[in-house]
Structure 1
Amino acid sequence: MKSFKCKVITPMFLTGVDGRTPEMRPPSLKGVLRYWWRAVKAMDNVSNMRETENKLFGGAGKGEGRSKITVRAGYKQFCTEKVQPLPHHKGDKKAYKSPAIVAGETFSITFSGQEAINSELEELFYLVSVLGGLGKRSRRGFGSFALDGREANSEAVVAALDKMAPGKYRLDGNEINATDTSAAADYPYIRNIAFGKGYGSYYRLLQHIGEGTHKYCDDALGYSNRNKRLASPVCVSVVYRNNQYYPVVTILNTVTGGAPLNHLKPQEDFKTWVLS
């Protein structure tokens, strides 16, 4: 059994099954872990990846069965307030507010099961806390959280990546890059991670991120219509250290199902904006 103490860094739009009451549900946490496990591994064979993934997190295939990991969330009733999911909008219909768990709230996550003592799971949850988040708008800076006792910087991140996927990532100055993208299968794995400049207020940073999504509105940053959907391959999270809030931009391999997409320049332009 392994427990982690966590602190909310930016407002978290996380609710229960009714879609309104703030709640931290284990199935949602498992889903996030599963997603980032795939992204970190950068495996060269999707079938082998899915087989390994399902054995760990559970699946319906032969010999897979239930997840080998049990997740429990511990917290008191969360303090909430109404927050703008699109903080760059003012005075229009998109300037609406939704209930969110406020920054500064704390919770604990406990893993148990035969795989829970594996150090890889600890590193995975750490990477989720730095690169990802929980709840709606977590790809645009909301729902970020920190693990007690773990530093959030590029050196610590590349060390965690190396424990999970040895030799697949390298530190290039302030950025982390996949060492050989040609060797990975065509699915959303991590290609690049970069840390930006500090802000004194998380709200101002979230505004800045939102302004970037408006300025660089492009299908390369995600889209949704009646027939197709592309979850944004550019994830922006927020870390806190030395009384400053820093953006972290993670660019995943973009998979469009064969549809042509000139994605590199819009993604790099958005990344440059967020980090500046």
Structure 2
Amino acid sequence: MYEAIFDLEAITPLFMRGADARSPEFSSASVKGVMRWWFRALAGGYFGNNIEALKEVEEKIFGSTRNKSRVFVRAEVEDVKKGNIYRQASSWADKTIIVWSEYVDYFFFSVLDKRRNRKTKKIDIKTRFEYFDVGSKFSISLSSTDERYFRLAEASLWMTINLGGFGFRARRGAGSLKVQMLREMLL
């Protein structure tokens, strides 16, 4: 049995939710979905126009409705730092209206709710929901009895961590994780 455990830390806010849209969730299914996307990005160049071969290998690594996955993915939250912003600014020109930075607020606009409070006449600034803040720690473990599929899944996870991100707004810089420790084992 081949196993790798990635200990990760959030270096940008991570916006991932599950069935309960009010609280953040870091699930194995979501991680596997992003890994699958990066596998297609990696393997597409190798398989070219042979879509059937690509589907066959992808199905063996990640599973499908017909076959179970040959690689087991487990995602866990180790240390949660939940983010939830609420504050007020006196006017739209007030510098406290900027949450992260002028540019980051623009990238994360769908996460922030900025509007004038009719009673106080101040600007309310808040996040629409909780999120995993910078410094939250996660663990992703991959395990398989087949080394070939294990290595392909491991490469997909490396691509996800180093070139992609997790959750929504990942294309805008959110959901970036760094590897704190990698433990590989042959059981």
Normalised by the length of structure 1, the TM-score is 0.47
For residue 87 of structure 1, the aligned residue among 69, 94, 105 is: 105
Aligned counterparts, 1:1-276, within 5 A = 1-42=3-44, 43-44=47-48, 45-61=50-66, 65-76=67-78, 78-82=80-84, 87-88=105-106, 91=114, 97=127, 98-115=129-146, 118-148=150-180
Normalised by the length of structure 2, the TM-score is 0.67
Gaps of 5+ in 1: 151-276
Query: What is the rounded CA distance, in whole Å, between the counterparts of 1:30 and 1:81 in structure 2?
Result: 24
Q: State whether residues 129 and 144 of structure 1, in contact with CA within 8 Å, keep that contact through their aligned partners in structure 2.
A: yes
Identity %: 30
Q: Report the CA distance shift for 1:96/1:69 in structure 2 as closer, same or farther (over 3 A).
A: same
Larger radius of gyration: 2
SS of residue in 2 equivalent to 1:12: coil
Higher strand share: 2
Q: State whether residues 22 and 78 of structure 1, in contact with CA within 8 Å, keep that contact through their aligned partners in structure 2.
A: no
Q: State whether residues 79 and 136 of structure 2, in contact with CA within 8 Å, keep that contact through their aligned partners in structure 1.
A: no
1:34 is displaced (CA, Å) by 0.6
Q: State whether residues 69 and 111 of structure 1, in contact with CA within 8 Å, keep that contact through their aligned partners in structure 2.
A: yes
After superposition, what is the alpha-carbon deviation per residue over 1:133-160, rounded to whole angstroms, capped at 9, x for unaligned?
Answer: 111111111101111258xxxxxxxxxx
1:114 is displaced (CA, Å) by 1.9
Count of aligned pairs: 146
Query: What is the rounded CA distance, in whole Å, between the counterparts of 1:145 and 1:46 in structure 2?
Result: 31
After superposition, what is the alpha-carbon deviation per residue over 1:98-138, rounded to whole angstroms, capped at 9, x for unaligned?
Answer: 32101111111111122468333322211110111111111
SS of residue in 2 equivalent to 1:16: coil
Bigger relative CO (Cα 8 Å, ≥ 6 apart):
2
Superposed CA RMSD in Å reads: 2.7
Q: State whether residues 6 and 147 of structure 1, in contact with CA within 8 Å, keep that contact through their aligned partners in structure 2.
A: yes
SS of residue in 2 equivalent to 1:107: strand
